[in-house]
Amino acid sequence: MALSGSIALALIFFALSTNPLEARGPFDRLARKLPQMTASDGICASSVRIFGYKCEEHDVVTQDGYILNMQRIPEGRAGTGDMSKRQPVLIQHGILVDGMSWLLNPADQNLPLILADQGFDVWMGNTRGTRFSRRHKYLSPNQPAFWNWTWDELVSYDLPAMFDHIHGLTDQKMHYLGHSLGTLIGFASFSEKGLVDKLRSAAMLSPIAYLSHMTTVLGDIAARSFLAEATAIIGVAEFNPKSGIVGHFIKIICSQAGIDCYDLISVITGKNCCLNASTIDLFLANEPQSTSTKNMIHLSQTVRDKVLRKYNYGTIDCNIKHYGQPLPPAYNISAIPHDLPLFFSYGGLDSLADVNDVRFLIDQFKFHDVDKIEVQFVKEYAHADFIMGVTAKDVVYNQVATFFKRQT
């Protein structure tokens, strides 16, 4: 507690005494060294068509006005095939990254392209605030109001907009594949049953819903030292780890806690077994992406409170105003329909999706139809291996494709 408190005070003191333009974060080393893709480049042009695949850029507008960018890979590199027989799959990224994170390896190792080659109609989502979804009908990313959301809104608005768009164009139920935060918003959404009528099955990689045992030192200290709250206090609505105050806050936490943050991927995600060095460089050149400070506060609440609830506004009066009750409503994961086919894959070295937390999560499905749930444990995998691991095709992706194909 003393360490967390001193870090929180140090963060606020630094913020009040530093010019944000002069602040430097731990990602600056590679951000300056390697070329970064801009929004005008587009994921299709930069990372899909170059491998010989067809790719379409789609824009989707949420009910609260955000314009989300999506990519569609309608067929494999060989082309042909009856589109009406190609089942759609929506792939959803995790926290502080975007759809690019699935496409950093050679083509034969990238999940979206592997699924396209195996006969699926592949869609990739990019949630609000990420590089290709920094648009709104009325708001600018420079306005604090643009960042007034948490993952509750990803559940209520972003996923429904993506599902409706895909279903409207294909007239088919879809498979869902999430990683990290992509699993959390999937669990929360499916528990409220709003999208299950359009859902064929779901595969959850590095699933998170409960974060009580996570062993990532940086993430745990950040949550318990109220990093996001300190950022909010000084009026920073956009949580951008790459630059300015937020990036320097992370450096302070690393210094105060005695953490070597030069290798931030390992510090945050665990010791990944199977990442290519050039892929890591490419990842750090393009990621992390921004999210809202309010979203990070919500995730920190999940770590500290050990309960999966909607955003806590901090006072009984504010919660009653928003929810009609003193505490935010909890998401009831066990309410997910028991006949929904589910595939889980988690790693033994994952510092974010800790083994104990994942097993507690899976226990919430003890009444699920036994023939509708599959669980894969990969002892040597950590968090990032599931999206960038050079062995992921053989270890995980082929199993996911086989699982999807069984859901006719």
Residues annotated as catalytic (active site), given as ranges: 180, 350, 383
HSE, side-chain direction, 13 A CA sphere, residue 51: 26
Among candidates 178, 391, 349, which has minimal Cα distance to 265? 349
SS (H, E, C) 96-141: CCCHHHHCCCCHHHCHHHHHHHCCCEEEEECCCCCCCCCEECCCCC
Instruction: Select from 387, 311, 361 the least CA-distant residue to 209.
Output: 361
DSSP 289-343: PPEEHHHHHHHHHHHHH-S-BSPP-SSHHHHHHHHSSSSPPBP-GGGS-TTS-EE
**Torsion angle of alpha carbons 393, 396, 400, 406, nearest 10°?**
100
What count of residues does the chain have?
A: 408
* Spatial contact of 232 and 376, defined as CB atoms under 8 Å apart: no
Peptide bond preceding 326 in cis form (omega within 30 of 0): no
46: its two tokens: 């930069």
Amino acid letter for position 355? V
What is the rounded CA–CA span in Å between residue 25 and residue 269?
18
Q: What is the DSSP letter of 188?
A: H
Long-range contacts of 30-34 (CB under 8 A, 24+ apart): 30/281, 30/284, 30/285, 31/242, 31/243, 31/284, 31/285, 33/285, 34/281, 34/282, 34/284, 34/285
Dihedral sign, CA of 321, 324, 326, 332? Answer: negative
β-bridge partners, 374? 343
Burial of 38 (0-12, 13-18, 19+ CB in 10 A): exposed
Gap between the Cα atoms of 60 and 164, Å rounded:
9
Q: Please check whether residue 345 is in contact with residue 205, taking contact to mean a CB–CB distance below 8 angstroms.
A: yes
